Structure 1
Amino acid sequence: MDFDFSDDQQSLRDAVRKWVDKGYDFERRRKAVKAGGFDRAAYGELADLGLAGLYIAEDHGGMGMGPVEAMVVMEELGRGMVLEPLGQTLIASGLLAGYAPAALQSAWLPRIAGGAALVVLAQVERKARYRLDVCATTAAQSGNTWTVSGAKSIVPAGDQADAFLVPATVKGRIAMFLVERSAAGVTARGYGTQAGGRAAEVSFKDSPASLVTEDGLAALEHGVDIGIAATCAEGVGVIDKTMDVTVEYMNTRKQFGATLASFQALRHRVADMKMQQELARSMSYYASLKLNAPAPERRSAMARAKYQLGVAMRFVGQNSVQLHGGIGVTDEYIGSHYFKKLTELELSFGDSLHQLGEVSERMQDTAGVFA
């Protein structure tokens, strides 16, 4: 299998890396965190690069690209710990393009591609505990109109988004709806997240909604899998930068008259971190390559990838802090922000313990050894 990136993919990586290095430095990120954790201007710049339209067909103003290109982009955004939720845009684009009726696609996909509209997935409920088939939010139909009632938690940029993709139960089955934030009965209470981003508690009370698909559980699983692949790629980018600052620190910080990098025990620890870094990268590739596989194969692959990424993110982040000592947890030092970002990503779309359970449930008689 050829793992070399094409010239177009390399050019895409270079363009995003250039923007991160020159247009989204640590000071700009810090200002965005203080301002609430979301910068609409920065999101607009991502859209100007065409990134909001990665998964959107050219007919709707997008770039018509696929999972590998999205992985390349998310890695680079991870390197800069970019706060703006492009991963959510990938989810919304994939779900609307794959499941929504033509009229809904025409109304929203061009706006998403151009950066005029931010649409996010609002699926987390307090009692669900990462389970996608648990949904207390309900939808009701009256003639040709739908309304949604319920509450969703930890909705990315929920008080800044223009619309939500909302799973809701209809006659015992989960369907997927699009609800505009400006719709009647919608309230959003925003707050900052651990890693500096923004989320919200969103409630719906008989809020007008547009039906995306009646097969909502399949759509939700697909959307979450897009999110997992994006999270894995973003995590690789954060791990890369965490490794960079850790190695640089060990090569400059002196103890007992010698640099930390000269101590064999510490070098062994960095070697273990490097192994986790490469395991994370290979499993991120695996997740992206499996994103268009049939649903059972795709779901199993995402659980495996997210579990390994969770282990790697926790290991690299914790060891980086330990190798730095006290400075590793100070707000002034960028390494502490990488650690917080890795911790947040490990919990996104199902933590490692949850994903280990998912892997276990999907094992065949061979336990995956000969399958």
Structure 2
Amino acid sequence: MDFEYTAEQQLLRDTVTEFLAARYDLEKSRAAARIGIGWQPEIWHAFATEVGILGAALPEQVGGFDGGPIETLIIAEAFGGALVVEPYVDTVVVGAGLLRRAGGARAEELLRGIVSGEVITALAALEADSGYNLAKVSTTARRDGDDWVLDGAKTVVTSAPLATHLLVTARTPDADGVSLFLVEAGTAGLTLHSYRTIDERRAADITLDGVRIPADALLGSEGAADDSLATAADEAIAAISAEAIGAMRRVLADTVDYAKQRRQFGVPIASFQVLQHRMVDMYFELEQAVAATYLVTLKLGAPKQERARAAAAAKATIGRAARFLGQSAVQLHGAMGMTEELAIGHFFKRLTAIQFEWGTTDQHIARYAALTRP
């Protein structure tokens, strides 16, 4: 596949990579994730003000640089290689994408806030019995005078403890489809049970008990959010696939370096043929994942069925590759692979979590089969 960056895209890649190398310390970010507030706000604002990457893929009319999916891929891949925990995908990819498609003055105001680093969003869509089906929604929204009143519960809302605004899916009495509502953090009746996930990110289970929001909190038309949510899911898959590529590149490089240094029976273990074969297999899995990620990135603007097939194929391929590279890296490092001191263990946790975000490997294999069935 011919996939060459333009001069501007190469500059973006170099800028992000150099910034992360100079300013994003892994030990400091892990400490913030484990025992701090879960992220580094000063880094997030630097993303906005110093390197301008929060608006790289957003329209110029909201202060962005009018980029697109390839710019998102470049940034997400760099973030994966540095194990960035800040909520880029939840806010800039999912949240901004939903707001752009919803349109309106309120959405445009929030998009400007995302570009400036002041607004952080989280999508509250999954429920206890919904699996990864975004259309399976039990949360309700009813009119009360000029307001909307929300009741229900959402589960595993990633980045919710950090968010200034939640994007909540609900069903209304007068529409067959799903509606999308904007709920500000701290609204009365909104309760968050926050926790740290296996990959040291922040999430929450949410209860909405008579949450009253104004009429303009409805984003887009009533009952018309299904297609936008499906698009957001595929855009998120493309972004976390790129993040996984960045993480897997780092995992493979660290494993090869370790194998060259670690000596057994008087020679580096990299000289053992069976371990060479394993590292070659890791490389092959990575390259297949790269191709699948590039494909879904290029297909995000394609018709719905074509886009969905590419997303399902990418997520299934990434899931398999992330599992193989993560487990192989830990095995080749021995017991050291899971220690806090080495980066490998932290990357392994993130790659494990990515396998289950936005649908599991098995679910996307089944999805791809259904989409290609005559």
Q: TM-score range by the shorter chain?
A: over 0.9
SS at match of 1:164: strand
The answer as to 2:177 corresponding to 1:176 is: no
Equivalent of 1:191 in 174, 195, 199 = 195
Q: What is the aligned partner in structure 2 of residue 126 from structure 1?
A: 128
- What is the deviation of 1:351? 1.1
2:74: which partner in 1? 72
What is the alpha-carbon distance in structure 1 between the residues aligned to residue 289 and residue 23 of structure 2? 27
Q: Which moved more, 1:131-140 or 1:264-273?
A: 131-140
Shift of 1:344: 0.7
Within 5 Å, give how 1:258-337 maps onto structure 2: 258-337=267-346
Contact 1:157–1:190 (CA<8 Å) still a contact in 2? no
Tell me which amino acid in the other structure corresponds to 1:203: T
Residues 153-190 of structure 1 deviation map (CA, whole Å, 9 limit, x = unaligned): 12122122000111111234211111111222112222
Would the aligned equivalents of 1:55 and 1:94 in 2 still touch at CA under 8 Å? no
Q: Which moved more, 1:262-271 or 1:287-296?
A: 287-296
1:271-311 per-residue CA deviation (whole Å, 9 max, x = no partner) reads: 00000010111111011111111222211211111000000
Q: Trace 1:1-371 onto structure 2 (pairs within 5 A).
A: 2-33=2-33, 34-48=35-49, 49-89=51-91, 90-100=93-103, 102-171=104-173, 172-209=176-213, 210-213=217-220, 214=222, 215-365=224-374
Contiguous gaps of at least 5 residues in structure 2:
none
Cα distance, 1:337 vs structure 2: 0.6
Q: Which amino acid aligns with 2:339?
A: T
1:320, CA displacement in angstroms? 0.8
1:254 partner letter: R
Greater shift after overlay, 108-117 or 163-172?
163-172
> What amino acid is the match of 1:342?
L
Q: Distance in 2 between matches of 1:283 and 1:147?
A: 42
Give, in whole Å, the separation in 2 of the partners of 1:279 and 1:36. 36
SS of alignment partner, residue 260 of structure 2: helix
Is the 1:55–1:93 contact (alpha carbons within 8 Å) kept by the matching residues of 2?
no
Write the deviation string for residues 113-138 of structure 1: whole angstroms up to 9, x where unpaired.
10111012111211111112211111
Q: How far apart are residue 2 of structure 1 and its match? A: 4.0
The CA distance in 2 between the partners of 1:148 and 1:296, in whole Å, is 32
Aligned residue pairs, count: 364
Identity of aligned residues (%): 35
Q: Distance in 2 between matches of 1:226 and 1:182?
A: 28
Moved more, 251-260 or 155-164: 155-164
Q: How far apart, CA to CA, are the structure 1 residues paired with 2:84 and 2:131?
A: 26
The Cα shift of 1:43 comes to 1.5
SS at match of 1:347: coil
> What residue identity is the alignment partner of 1:12?
L
Paired residue for 1:368? Answer: none
Q: In 2, distance between residues paired with 1:53 and 1:23?
A: 20
Q: What TM-score do you get using the length of structure 2 for normalisation? A: 0.94
Secondary structure, counterpart of 2:143 in structure 1: strand
Confirm or deny: 8 A CA contact 1:155 1:201 kept in the other structure. yes
**What is the alpha-carbon distance in structure 2 between the residues aligned to residue 296 and residue 144 of structure 1?**
38
Aligned-residue offset at 1:204: 1.4
* SS of match in other structure, 1:159: helix
The farther-off stretch of 21-30 and 201-210 is 201-210
- Post-superposition offset of 1:56: 2.3
Q: Is the 8 A contact 1:36 1:192 kept in 2?
A: no
Secondary structure of the structure 1 residue equivalent to 2:160: coil
Report which stretch shifted further, 22-31 or 273-282.
22-31
Give the AA of the match of 1:24.
Y
Instruction: Report the AA paired with residue 199 of structure 1.
Output: A
Q: What SS does the aligned partner of 2:122 have?
A: strand
Q: Which runs of 5+ in 1 are unaligned?
A: 366-371
Question: Runs (4+) of structure 1 moved beyond 2 Å?
Answer: 142-145
TM-score, length-scaled by structure 1: 0.95
Is the Cα contact below 8 Å between 1:54 and 1:63 reproduced in 2? yes
